Structure formats: C-alpha cells, structure tokens
Amino acid sequence: MPRILFLLSFILLGVNPSIAEVQSQAITYEHNSAKLKGVIYWDDEIVGKRPGVMVVHEWWGLNDYAKQRAKMLAEAGFIAFAADMYGDDKVTTHAEDAKGWMQQITANTKDWQQRAILGVEKLKEHELADANNLAAIGYCFGGSTVMQIAYAGTGLKGVASFHGSLPPAPKASHGKIKAKILVAHGAQDKFVATEKVNKFTESLINAGADWEMNIYGSAKHSFTNPDSANYGIDALGYDKDADNRSWARLMEFFNEIFQDNGKID
C-alpha cells in the first residue's frame, strides 16, 4: 500500500509510472586518489525531475545487491544512485577483505563523511534529480555511512539505516541533524550489542534528532539480503518478513519526507 500511495502521487501530477523502463548510467568520480564508480538508475516512463535517493552498499563493496536496491527505488518512482565507497572496483565475498576496506574508510570520520557526501552531490547533479528532495539509505556499513551523512548536518530530507552498526551521534552534531532518521534493526543482530543500541538511541535523543527505530524480533544481521547465508557467517541471515516490512516502512517514510517541497541546504 505505501508504494501504491507514492505512485499515485505521480499519477495526480500527470505522470504515468505504469510501465517500468529502468535506465542506468555509470558515474565516475574521485576522492583522495580513489577512483569511484557508482551507477544511477531512473524510470524513463516518468517525465521530469523526481526525488533522489542514494544507496550505500554493505561492507562487501558495490555489488549486485546494492545495485538491485537502487533499481527497485527507480521502479518505485525515484532516481537512485548506487554509490561507491571503496573505489578501484573493490568488491569481495571474503569477510577479512571487506573488514579491512571498511576500516580504511571509517578510520577517519571526516574523510568518511566527505566521500559519502560526494556521492550525494553526484546524485544531486543529475538533470532528473529534484535537488530539493534527496535522501540516502544504506545497508550494514552503508547504514553507518548514511548516519554519518546525517551527523555532518547536510540538507538531506532523510536517511534510513538497515542493519547498520549504529554509530552514536557525536556532541558536535547536537542541534544540527536536519535529516529525519529511520533505522531498521534485527533483535538477533550479534554484531551490534544491546549496549551499543542503547548508546545510539540515547545519543539521538541528546542530539535532538527526529528519529525512529523499528526492531524485528527474529532478524539477524543482514536480514534484508537474500544472499546473506551464502557468506558462511552464522550471524548473518535473511528474514523475508523483516525485509518486506522494513521496505514497506521505507516507502511510507519517503512519502512523509518528500511531501514537503521546501528547499534543502
């Protein structure tokens, strides 16, 4: 129903989204000598500008899963950019490689934020993107990344973290978080201790953020990824119900944040 309601808003504006013809375009950019290459998706049956959403990948790199999520967003009426946070074609199925690449990015929070914000700028530059209505979503490492974008005080309308590591809001962000926040978390996520969840939520309260967390009782880490069991890590697992429910809530969230056409910074 949320997705239907969103598409109906386009119909009322004279747009016909009935036949999805999703197009894609590779976008190359560079940050700190790393050669980054993301992919932007849009439905060419929709005329004119539309809200934009950046998708940030799991710690495995910009693989087909992140691209598929961006394509799904395009099918739902958005323009979506699957951003590249590692660069140099770094994609793996090995946890040790993924962990090392992730740690290289997260070691310097300022650089981490800058690289993510650069991806937002690439989305914003596209001729079909409504620069006044932008958001970002992320999975696992990507969930932490979109939280860092929010903490940087950028003008995104909203961010959504799916099974992210939940970094707490730093004191410097207090009173400056403009993006509304949606968090989807698995109660069985062994990668994120209860104490860390509590510290995260307390920090958002102290920061004065507009936030919401949905916790799915049977869900493990990486519960939205149908291929999560293929990585050979017991703590990972797909949960179809949690996946579907969290995606439906995301569509509702977008309906809420994009109904106001006010400008972002």
Distance CA 141, CA 256 (A): 25
User: Based on the structure, what is the number of domains in the chain?
Assistant: 1
pLDDT at 210 over 60: yes
Cα angle at 54 between 241 and 15, to 5 degrees? Answer: 85
Domain of residue 245, CATH code: 3.40.50.1820
Distance CA 186, CA 172 (A): 28
Which pTM does this prediction carry? 0.90
- Tokens 């970094």 correspond to what residue? 167
31 strand-pairing partners: 34
Distance CA 248, CA 72 (A): 12
Query: Average pLDDT in the 9-38 region?
Result: 78
**Residue 34: inside a domain, yes or no?**
yes
Distance CA 56, CA 188 (A): 23
pLDDT band at residue 206 under the 50/70/90 scheme? very high
User: Which of 112, 133, 117 lies closest to 59, judged by CA?
Assistant: 112
Residue pLDDT, tens place only, 83-97: 999 999 999 999 999
Per the CB < 8 A criterion, the answer to whether 54 and 81 are in contact is yes
Structural domain boundaries, residue 165: 2-10+23-258
**Residue 18: inside a domain, yes or no?**
no
**Residue 108: inside a domain, yes or no?**
yes
pLDDT at position 19: 55
Per the CB < 8 A criterion, the answer to whether 187 and 215 are in contact is yes
- Tokens 């919401």 correspond to what residue? 212
Residue pLDDT, tens place only, 48-104: 999 999 999 999 999 999 999 999 999 999 999 999 999 999 999 999 999 999 999
